[in-house]
Chain A
Amino acid sequence: MKKKILVIDDDLNIRDYLVSLFTDNGYDAYIAGDVKEGIKEATKIKPDLITLDIEMPGEWGPRFYRQMSQDPELKNIPVIVISGLSGHQYAVVKAVASLTKPFDRDELLAIVKETLN
């Protein structure tokens, strides 16, 4: 069974790129454009991994992380932060990785592979 990855990012281009990248590499990819939608999708699909943007309209990524951490069904899902905001590596202390946009696709895939295996 394919592993499921949820991409949470308000940038349509990034979402499309990540979805193509993940599906081309054998994963099922799902998308959410903000924190609220992210929680809804995560609850519905129970992804194996989440990529999370930090600065988004309305609530920011760390809010998503706080909410998912309080949900027993979501709290153990690994999160990779992908953001262009300075200092993003400090935003989610327990993220498995924090990548700066524009990121290296091979680096991201290697982290995803390592995390999901």
Chain B
Amino acid sequence: MGFDMFKKILFATSATEASDHAARVAFYIAASYQSSLSIFHVLGVPTRGYSQVVIDIKTKEEVDVDEDYTAWVKEEVKTYYEKHLDGSFDYTIDVAVGFPAREILRQAKAIKPDLILIGGSTGDEDGSVYKKNSAGSTLQKVAKAAKCPVLVVNRPAASFWGGLSNIVFGTDFSKTSDKAFDFAMKIAKTLDCEMNVFHALDITSLHTGKMLSQDEIEQQIRESLRKIRARYEPRLKELKAYSMDVSEGIPYIEIVKYARDKFADLIVMAHHSKKGASDDSGLGGNVEQVIVRAGCPVISINK
């Protein structure tokens, strides 16, 4: 089945075990929807600016990068994914040198993918060449800056377990959330998925500035549910099954819990969806926390 939302996918990978779970999702999507898959690997970080001497991310050794070395790394990546590259979809393999987030975004600018798919960190936090040279993780930076939707498979639990039939859409009622809703609806309609719309009411005193009474919380829950109904239900009726829920707590925890309870295959959320302190101040916003913690893949939509 052709699926224009996932026509061209940029799969950014470390080509190590840390990316295996993301790879399973990438290869499943590519094979199922006849996507063209651009497998992209940043082989190392330069030891100093513009130097051809780089620290290889796999061996952690300093290497002189020339055409031969690049060709060898490409071949290594191909060998690593050999069993998945069975001819059921088109693919290319590209390698680059530099800071991963910057290079991934550069590649995205060049090939204009419909989706960037990215896995977790290389796992070896202390020894990682990637992390040593950059503040914050690559996936967080990419999710924050990409111009197209970014699908993140951070934890092994978020891997592919047999299909895409149940989507959780987390909303904060912003304009960017509406854009994310359009995207989620398009997937749900095309793939005949169930959609669960969820709003998490942030009741932390840090956010509200005061301790809310239970009556106030319940009043806000009712208001949020009315808002969800008014904003999304007319279109949700186009789907075979949907639900709408609100609960109070720490938003990212509530969303991760809700997705787990619903056995969601995918979470769709807007990135930078509100000009609030948490999302715009750097790392650690709700979307980024959901990306890091979710038990299923997360698609983050930028404005």
Q: Considering only CB atoms and an 8 Å cut-off, how many residues of chain B contact the other chain?
A: 14
In the complex, are the beta carbons of B263 and A87 less than 8 A apart? Answer: no
In the complex, are the beta carbons of B163 and A91 less than 8 A apart? Answer: no
CB of B295 to closest CB in A, whole Å: 7
In the complex, chain B residues whose CB is within 8 Å of the CB of A66: 166, 263
The distance in angstroms between the C-alpha atoms of A61 and B263, with both chains bound, is: 12
The distance in angstroms between the C-alpha atoms of A93 and B263, with both chains bound, is: 10
User: Does B272 interact with chain A (Cβ within 8 Å)?
Assistant: no
In the complex, are the beta carbons of A93 and B156 less than 8 A apart? Answer: no
Q: Mark A45-77, 1 if CB is under 8 A from B, else 0.
A: 000000000110001111101100100000000
A-B contact count (CB 8 A): 36
Instruction: Mark out the residues of chain A between 74 and 107 whose CB falls within 8 Å of any chain B CB in the assembled complex.
Output: 86-87, 90-91, 93
The distance in angstroms between the C-alpha atoms of A52 and B20, with both chains bound, is: 23
In the complex, chain A residues whose CB is within 8 Å of the CB of B155: 90
The secondary-structure label for the interface of chain B is loop
The distance in angstroms between the C-alpha atoms of A55 and B263, with both chains bound, is: 17
Instruction: Mark out the residues of chain B between 148 and 186 whose CB falls within 8 Å of any chain A CB in the assembled complex.
Output: 155-157, 159, 161-163, 165-166
The distance in angstroms between the C-alpha atoms of A93 and B261, with both chains bound, is: 10
CB of B162 to closest CB in A, whole Å: 3
Q: How large is the interface on A (under 10, 10 to 19, 20 to 34, 35 or more residues)?
A: 10 to 19
**Given that A69-B263, A86-B20 are known contacts, is A62 also in contact with B162, CB under 8 Å in the complex?**
yes
User: Does B106 interact with chain A (Cβ within 8 Å)?
Assistant: no
In the complex, are the beta carbons of B162 and A61 less than 8 A apart? Answer: yes
In the complex, are the beta carbons of A93 and B260 less than 8 A apart? Answer: yes
Residue of A60, A63, A65 most packed against chain B (CB within 10 A)? A63
A-B contact pairs, 24 of them (CB 8 A): A54-B162, A55-B162, A60-B161, A61-B162, A62-B161, A62-B162, A63-B162, A63-B165, A65-B263, A66-B263, A69-B263, A86-B20, A87-B20, A87-B156, A87-B157, A87-B159, A90-B155, A90-B159, A90-B295, A91-B157, A91-B161, A93-B157, A93-B260, A93-B295
Residue numbers of B with Cβ under 8 A of A are 20-21, 155-157, 159, 161-163, 165-166, 260, 263, 295
Residue numbers of A with Cβ under 8 A of B are 54-55, 59-63, 65-66, 69, 86-87, 90-91, 93
